[in-house]
A and B are shown apart, each in its own frame.
Chain A
Amino acid sequence: GQQVMQIPQYQHVQEGEDFTTYCNSSTTLSNIQWYKQRPGGHPVFLIQLVKSGEVKKQKRLTFQFGEAKKNSSLHITATQTTDVGTYFCAGPGAGSYQLTFGKGTKLSVIP
């Protein structure tokens, strides 16, 4: 079955440093979605990437979808304490509607 792998599992950064999490799928993805879960909260949709090589930005967050549509990354520039949480990527396999979530990257920001 499809697997979605995310690295790193944990990341501790000093406030102001950059942060990147990577997502890799064992199969080609029709799209990839990113979610953020704050401590004690629930996953909240951030963005969806559909096109090969697509890059989208949300303020300090930059999302990329690989050319082969099998990998993606989320980069945060100059982290702030409000960025703390677990970031999940999720994607359906080709021809599948079921979303498979990566195991998430837990980001801690040291003030």
Chain B
Amino acid sequence: DTAVSQTPKYLVTQMGNDKSIKCEQNLGHDTMYWYKQDSKKFLKIMFSYNNKELIINETVPNRFSPKSPDKAHLNLHINSLELGDSAVYFCASSQGLSGTDTQYFGPGTRLTVL
């Protein structure tokens, strides 16, 4: 069984469209994250949720809206997509909020905005 899964794996869309990426973890973890990895491989945290509550919201355009219906799911909705949104988006989870907790990453969603 996949520990952290994301759908879709690939997403190609036109500028201006709205799209969603879904993430699910079956590890029983309390904390989930969204990261953006650009073409230079820089991993930048976008959002962090703990027990469905938003904990971290880095400087991310408000076109990005995360939603956590329960502890096992963290979805990412993006409005009015722009060329600069093209990247790989990783979902991750950890046991809790402790800085010593290991993070488990999903396989990633490669978003291409044309």
Q: Which of A18-26, A41-49, A54-62, A76-84 faces chain B?
A: A41-49
Structural contact, A104 and B41, CB atoms closer than 8 A: yes
Q: Which of B18-26, B63-71, B105-113 faces chain A?
A: B105-113
Structural contact, B102 and A42, CB atoms closer than 8 A: no
B48 at interface by CB-CB < 8 Å: yes
Q: Taking CB as reference atom, which chain A residue is nearest B50?
A: A97
Q: Give the bracket for the number of chain A residues in contact with chain B.
A: 20 to 34
- For A37, what are the chain B residues with a Cβ–Cβ distance below 8 Å? 41
A30 at interface by CB-CB < 8 Å: yes
Q: Taking CB as reference atom, which chain A residue is nearest B43?
A: A101
Structural contact, B99 and A88, CB atoms closer than 8 A: no
A90–B101 Cα gap in the complex (Å)?
Answer: 11
Q: Of A31, A43, A93, A96, which contacts B43 at CB under 8 A?
A: A43
Top 6 closest A-B pairs, CB basis?
Answer: A92-B99, A42-B105, A101-B43, A97-B99, A97-B97, A45-B102
> Taking beta carbons and an 8 Å cutoff, which residues of A are in contact with B?
30-31, 33, 35, 37, 41-45, 48, 50, 86, 88, 90-93, 96-101, 103-104, 106
